[in-house]
Amino acid sequence: MHLLGIDLGTTGTKVVLYDNDGKIISESYSEYSVVTPQSGWVELDPLLIWDAVKNNISKNVKQLKEKKYAMSFSVLGDAVIPIGENNKILYPAMLSADIRSIKYVKQLEEHFGAEYIFKYSGRWSHTMCPLTKILWIRDNMPDIYKNAKQFLDVLSWINLKLGFRPIMDDSSASATLYYDINNREINDEVLEWAKIDSRSLPLVGESGKYLGKLSPKIASELGFPNDSEVEVSLGAMDQLCNALGTGTVEPGDSSCSTGTVECATIILPEKISDEELFSHHFIKVPTAIKNQFANMTVLWTGGGSLKWFRNNFCQEEIKEAEKRGINVYDLIEKGERPISDVFFLPHLAGSGTPWWDSHSKGAFIGLSLATNKKQMIDAVMEGVTFSLNISMKALEKLGLEKKRFAVIGGGSKSEKWNHLKADILNRKVISMIYKEGGALGASILAGYGIGKYKSMEKTSKELAKVEKQYLPNKNNLQQYNRKFDIFKDIYPALKNINHRISELDFSS
Amino acid sequence: MKIIGIDIGTSGLKMSVYDEQINILKSDSTSYTVQSPRSGVVELDPNIIWKSLKETISRLFLDMPVEEKEYVVSFSFLGDALIVTDEKFNPLMSSILSSDTRSAEYSEIISKQLNKKELYLKTGRIPHSMSILNRLLWFRDNYEEYYKKARWYLDYASWILAKLGFEPATDYSSASGMLFFNINKKRYDDEILSWAKIPEKKLPFLIPSGKYLGNLSDEVKLELGFSLNSEVKVVSGGMDQICNALGTGTVLPNQMVCSIGTVEATTTILPDDIDNKQLFAGNYYRSVSALPDQFVTFSFLWSGGGSLRWYRDTLGYYGKNGKESEGLNRNNLYELLIGEKTKPSKEIFLPYLSGTGPPFWNSLARGAFLGVNLASNEQNFVDAILEGVSYDLRYNLEQLQKAGIEIEKICVVGGGSRSPKWLQIKADIVKKPILRLERQEGGSLGAALLAGYGAGLFDNLTEAAKRVNRINGVFSPSGKYEKIYDKKYNIFKDSYIKLRDINNRISSFLR
């Protein structure tokens, strides 16, 4: 028996093949590109994902003798794909970062009120959410809307392509804004207001739910050896697969993925109430584990802030790194230096959680003639981590225990960044041997669905292997605390200023 | 007769020789560096200046026509320095310069015990670590022995005259920075001196600028390298910004000159009917100019061009292209300033890398880049700096206008005035014509005017100053992007306020 963990991301698809004991046999990855036909529109052709899925599965399994497989998916959330007769794709997938539906965000909020929306969906009205995108299609592409049989997300669409009914899991459904996460059903009142037929929406099931076997035709299209038995289980949204893939399974556990976007998933204890979460502008998402919920933090430019700084102000270092054949980030970050008085607000593409302020901007503060580049780089990395700390501190105040804190993603390859997280969050931080947790999480769902794994929690803890642990440096704690105290007041101080900068019209 | 204008500054001494029509014949300079062993300390050894003076003169005379027998000399001085000497004018220690902030805490003491407004109406100043009063009080408390032992508490204007064999006397413009000089009565204020227990006999004598003081003795001529059969007249000089104003023809009420250097400083001639209370409300100084019964005010942006230099040294990569070793750094700074600017940047820069000048005088203020987004690049940051420095100028113009000063156009000199791009941005942002001046000799040209006037080469200093310089570039407000500059300016002003408290906290973060 082999397991396939398949990670469908915004920029590429990765397929990892595991043996019966959960050890990696092989893996394969290929990229595709999103398209931005207009500013604020972010689209992806679903067939590119399908091709990547086929090619990468095939690369891993084509030559094998093994005949028994189980697979599942870790999926980018929030997309909308309108499907017509014969499952024809009527329009490319509108992705999470697509902001064309801004008008409907306000409409929804005005009609139902933020508190009501949060109560059933655990979410805030936002352009990310599929419902606002469907409304945009309704009013702006009436032909497509008329011909659309269904509005799927990537997970339900992939399941459809695999020959199953279009079904998504609770974590994916929670983002739609029409799904009631507590009663696990569609909110009819909202659908009625939106004039959307519930039959046009994907089914919803629990992550790890067994969907069935692939038909021989589809199995062969995906490159499985003849007569293979391929069993498929329902996947989950990427961040929740990350959680599973890092052993983040108990209340108080967190996994933080630092890529371009930095996103942390924090498993919530029951004692933190919806009212408290709402008052802090947090979101509440079902995890892959039954009856468990998590808070998710998002900073759009996490690693992206450092990359921006590198590309614009570190040309010398880039050349030097090329010459010496080393990683440019090593050159930029390395070195012990005192904590500086420079601050960076990492809102280069808006604020993310907990403010959801898309008009916020980035800022360097506290500059003096004595400020140097290394201090500014430190400020960028600190600013990203301080932003995370705002949510962590608030959750701790509400009673969140400090349990496991796992870091993954490209940013977790940086020892400096991991140390910084330990110092600023004032807790032990662990890095994982396998830094892309999504595929591992998906393989756990695959094994759970066929009954190979009895407990997601137990399997997750067994398979997620720790690489290294980072402990807070006592000498830095007090200074970072003081620095954080100042940092947390920067966003409120600049909020109005940034909104005014946002409104500036540069077209004339 | 030849005129020698000598500009004694913080970073060097510049000397120019002129004919009687103030055409420049020759120039030379010697640079030196201030000692700043730790933050807040800025000192300079007076003996280095004296040595530089001698060296520069002897170099200048190497190929001067020998038949020239008549000279007149005057000076432009760095202001507000404190030199304590024995009775023979030997300095007891290094001079303490105006940017030394060790006496900052005395501002509060002075403000508490003397009425700040009355103090201003008499002296034209508000208590600040720049003033000699702060510095003397600090000196008294920290160097009691020297304070008592010293025969003289001088500044560079009076010390140089003493070294030349005259009475140690400072001119009214230099004395304006003392905080115990009554600018209306042109004498020391007894009340302040007695409060501070400063004995008047240790202070310099007071004289107007442009006054003929006498000729150099043979002994001094020898020491400086003049031939013994020459006649060298000495005329009292002025403080650097005052001399700079003269040399740029800034002599009539409501005229402003802006020097775009590391520090961006403006000097504005005050109209006679100025409301001093309004000036005080905006924390603007009132200083004696080189012309009789005329007063001026200043503004300072401590890191004007200095912000660009900081950017270049910290983040800049412009034009290096592997040629770092060829010493292109200076040119690189200029490269940042040339080229077309297409549109206002989306970013906003607060140019307070070393605090603000008036009206806030906030030494705890900091610099900031705001409005930063994923598309922000090097050029955007540089443009934001060019704009930010200009918004600060606009703010000062607005404050001065509130005090009743109507400035129609601004003359500019200094390194930054070489950049047409920057001058156009300035004109568009402040919405006034920017006039670039041809002669950029700064203080030494003003000193030459004072020398010529003192020697009787012309009877009307104002008229002579008006004729001496020429405009070689006019940058009129284009009205392009006016709306967006206006909006950005308003955001700029509010950003300073919004960040004030945070910057105060940041300033104490490392303490």
SS3 content of chain A, % helix, strand, coil (to 5): 40, 20, 35
User: Mutating which of B262, B374, B377, B428 best tests the A interface, going by the most A Cβ atoms within 10 A?
Assistant: B374
**What pLDDT, on the 0 to 100 scale, is given for residue B318?**
56
CA angle A42, A46, A48 (to 5 degrees): 100
Considering the domain boundaries, does residue B445 fall inside one? no
Strands A229-233 and A68-75: parallel
B354 at A interface, C-beta within 8 A: yes
What is the spatial distance between Cα B317 and Cα B162, in angstroms, rounded to a whole number?
Answer: 49
The token pair that represents B340 in the structure block: 């077309």
**What pLDDT, on the 0 to 100 scale, is given for residue B309?**
86
From the number of C-beta atoms within 10 Å of its C-beta (0-12, 13-18, 19+), residue B108 rates as exposed
With H, G, I as helix, E, B as strand and everything else as coil, classify residue A470.
strand
What is the spatial distance between Cα B420 and Cα B474, in angstroms, rounded to a whole number?
Answer: 10
Residue B64 and residue B26 share a domain: yes
Residue B345 and residue B230 share a domain: no
What is the spatial distance between Cα A125 and Cα A121, in angstroms, rounded to a whole number?
Answer: 10
Residue B270 and residue B236 share a domain: no
Strands A43-44 and A93-94: antiparallel
Residue B102 and residue B119 share a domain: yes
Residue B260 and residue B181 share a domain: no
Higher per-residue confidence, A370 vs A168 = A168
Q: Is the pLDDT of residue B323 over 50?
A: no
SS3 content of chain B, % helix, strand, coil (to 5): 40, 20, 40
Which CATH architecture fits A247-432+465-500? Answer: 2-Layer Sandwich (3.30)
The CB density around residue B493, as the number of other CB atoms within 10 Å, is 15
**What pLDDT, on the 0 to 100 scale, is given for residue B227?**
87
What is the spatial distance between Cα B362 and Cα B357, in angstroms, rounded to a whole number?
Answer: 7
What is the spatial distance between Cα B250 and Cα A405, in angstroms, rounded to a whole number?
Answer: 67
Q: Is the pLDDT of residue B99 over 80?
A: yes
B303, B366, B370: residue with CB nearest A366: B366
Considering the domain boundaries, does residue B314 fall inside one? yes
User: Mutating which of A261, A368, A483 best tests the B interface, going by the most B Cβ atoms within 10 A?
Assistant: A368
| B341 contact residues in A (CB cutoff 8 A) | none
Q: What is the pLDDT of residues A323-367, one digit of tens each?
A: 999 999 988 888 888 999 999 999 999 998 999 898 999 999 999
Q: Is the pLDDT of residue A383 over 50?
A: yes
Give the mean model confidence (pLDDT) for residues B31-45.
89
Give the mean model confidence (pLDDT) for residues A213-232.
97
B356 at A interface, C-beta within 8 A: no
Residue B299 and residue B236 share a domain: no
Torsion of CA A101, A102, A104, A109, to 10 degrees: 140
Residue B154 and residue B102 share a domain: yes
CA distance A313 to chain B (A): 6
What is the spatial distance between Cα B347 and Cα B388, in angstroms, rounded to a whole number?
Answer: 10
Considering the domain boundaries, does residue B472 fall inside one? no
With beta carbons less than 8 A apart as the criterion, state whether A419 and A411 touch.
Answer: no
A493 at B interface, C-beta within 8 A: yes
What is the spatial distance between Cα A264 and Cα B18, in angstroms, rounded to a whole number?
Answer: 72
Closest CA to B176 of B137, B133, B136: B133
Give the mean model confidence (pLDDT) for residues A431-450.
94
- A28 phi and psi angles, rounded to 5 deg: -155, 145
Query: Percent of chain B scored above 70 by pLDDT?
Result: 94
Higher per-residue confidence, B377 vs A454 = A454
DSSP characters for A134-161?
HHHHHHH-HHHHHH-SEEE-HHHHHHHH
Q: What is the pLDDT of residues A450-496, one digit of tens each?
A: 999 999 999 999 999 999 999 999 999 999 999 999 999 999 999 99
Which of B181, B209, B241 is the endpoint of a domain? Answer: B241
**What pLDDT, on the 0 to 100 scale, is given for residue A84?**
97
Contact call for B373 and A363, based on CB within 8 A: no
Q: What is the pLDDT of residues B247-287, one digit of tens each?
A: 999 999 999 999 998 899 999 999 999 989 889 999 999 99
Which of B195, B210, B241 is the endpoint of a domain? Answer: B241
Window 316-345 of A, Cβ < 8 Å to B: 316, 340-341, 343
The CB density around residue B98, as the number of other CB atoms within 10 Å, is 20
B306, B373, B490: residue with CB nearest A349: B373
Closest CA to B164 of B227, B213, B216: B216
User: If pLDDT is split at 50, 70 and 90, which confidence band does B511 have?
Assistant: confident
CA angle A267, A269, A273 (to 5 degrees): 115
With beta carbons less than 8 A apart as the criterion, state whether A294 and A241 touch.
Answer: no
What length is written for chain B?
511
Average pLDDT, chain B: 92
User: If pLDDT is split at 50, 70 and 90, which confidence band does B338 have?
Assistant: low
Residue B89 and residue B233 share a domain: yes
A86 conformational bin, left if phi > 0, alpha if psi -120 to 50, beta if neither = left
Q: Is the dihedral of CA A457, A460, A463, A465 positive or negative?
A: negative
DSSP characters for A294-340?
EEEEEETTSHHHHHHHHHHH-HHHHHHHHHHTS-HHHHHH-S-----
Q: Is the pLDDT of residue B329 over 50?
A: no
Return the domain boundaries, chain A: 2-234, 247-432+465-500
Higher per-residue confidence, B182 vs B511 = B182
Domain topology for A2-234:
Nucleotidyltransferase; domain 5 (3.30.420)
The token pair that represents A155 in the structure block: 């997970």
B184 at A interface, C-beta within 8 A: no
**What pLDDT, on the 0 to 100 scale, is given for residue B324?**
43
The token pair that represents B174 in the structure block: 């230099």
Residue B275 and residue B203 share a domain: no
Query: Percent of chain A scored above 70 by pLDDT?
Result: 100
CA angle A477, A482, A488 (to 5 degrees): 115
DSSP secondary structure letter of residue A11: S
**What pLDDT, on the 0 to 100 scale, is given for residue B69?**
87
Considering the domain boundaries, does residue B446 fall inside one? no
Range of the domain at B355: 249-438+481-509
**What pLDDT, on the 0 to 100 scale, is given for residue B406?**
93
**What pLDDT, on the 0 to 100 scale, is given for residue B333?**
60
**What pLDDT, on the 0 to 100 scale, is given for residue B334?**
61
Residue B337 and residue B213 share a domain: no
CA distance B105 to chain A (A): 21
Which of B241, B267, B301 is the endpoint of a domain? Answer: B241
Give the mean model confidence (pLDDT) for residues B302-315.
90
Say how many Å lie between the first and final Cα of chain B, rounded.
Answer: 58
**What pLDDT, on the 0 to 100 scale, is given for residue B326?**
37
What length is written for chain A?
508
Q: Is the pLDDT of residue A289 over 90?
A: yes
What is the spatial distance between Cα A430 and Cα A231, in angstroms, rounded to a whole number?
Answer: 33
**What pLDDT, on the 0 to 100 scale, is given for residue B204?**
98
Residue B38 and residue B174 share a domain: yes
The token pair that represents B380 in the structure block: 């955007």
Considering the domain boundaries, does residue B463 fall inside one? no
**What pLDDT, on the 0 to 100 scale, is given for residue B61?**
81
Considering the domain boundaries, does residue B476 fall inside one? no
A465 at B interface, C-beta within 8 A: no
A313, A493, A504: residue with CB nearest B499: A493
User: Mutating which of A315, A367, A478 best tests the B interface, going by the most B Cβ atoms within 10 A?
Assistant: A367
CA angle A185, A243, A201 (to 5 degrees): 25
Considering the domain boundaries, does residue B471 fall inside one? no
User: If pLDDT is split at 50, 70 and 90, which confidence band does B330 have?
Assistant: very low
Query: Percent of chain B scored above 90 by pLDDT?
Result: 81
**What pLDDT, on the 0 to 100 scale, is given for residue B332?**
55
Give the mean model confidence (pLDDT) for residues A159-168.
98
Q: What is the pLDDT of residues B463-473, one digit of tens each?
A: 999 999 999 99
The residues facing B24 across adjacent strands are B18
**What pLDDT, on the 0 to 100 scale, is given for residue B147?**
95
Q: Rg for chain B (alpha carbons), in Å?
A: 23
Q: Is the pLDDT of residue B317 over 80?
A: no
A28 at B interface, C-beta within 8 A: no
With H, G, I as helix, E, B as strand and everything else as coil, classify residue A78.
coil
- A208 phi and psi angles, rounded to 5 deg: 85, 0
Higher per-residue confidence, A159 vs B278 = A159
DSSP secondary structure letter of residue B21: T
User: If pLDDT is split at 50, 70 and 90, which confidence band does A506 have?
Assistant: confident
With beta carbons less than 8 A apart as the criterion, state whether A131 and A187 touch.
Answer: no
Contact call for B370 and A497, based on CB within 8 A: yes
Q: Is the pLDDT of residue A48 over 50?
A: yes
Strands B264-269 and B256-260: antiparallel
Closest CA to A249 of A406, A117, A362, A138: A406
CA distance A359 to chain B (A): 10
Contact call for A304 and B368, based on CB within 8 A: no
The token pair that represents B154 in the structure block: 């001088």
B229: Cβ contacts below 8 Å, ≥ 6 apart: B69
The CB density around residue B277, as the number of other CB atoms within 10 Å, is 11
**What pLDDT, on the 0 to 100 scale, is given for residue A336?**
84
Residue B499 and residue B359 share a domain: yes
**What pLDDT, on the 0 to 100 scale, is given for residue B66?**
66
Which H, E and C letters describe A394-436, residue by residue? HHHHCCCCCCCEEEECHHHHCHHHHHHHHHHHCCCEEEECCCC
**What pLDDT, on the 0 to 100 scale, is given for residue B341?**
64
With H, G, I as helix, E, B as strand and everything else as coil, classify residue B377.
coil
The token pair that represents B136 in the structure block: 């003397």
Helix orientation angle between A303-313 and A315-324, rounded to the nearest 10 degrees: 90
The residues facing A70 across adjacent strands are A3, A231
What is the spatial distance between Cα B453 and Cα A352, in angstroms, rounded to a whole number?
Answer: 68
**What pLDDT, on the 0 to 100 scale, is given for residue A171?**
96
**Number of domains composing chain B:** 2
* CATH number reported for the structural domain that contains residue B109 in this entry: 3.30.420.40
Considering the domain boundaries, does residue B413 fall inside one? yes
Give the mean model confidence (pLDDT) for residues B407-422.
92
In this prediction, the answer to ipTM > 0.85 reads yes
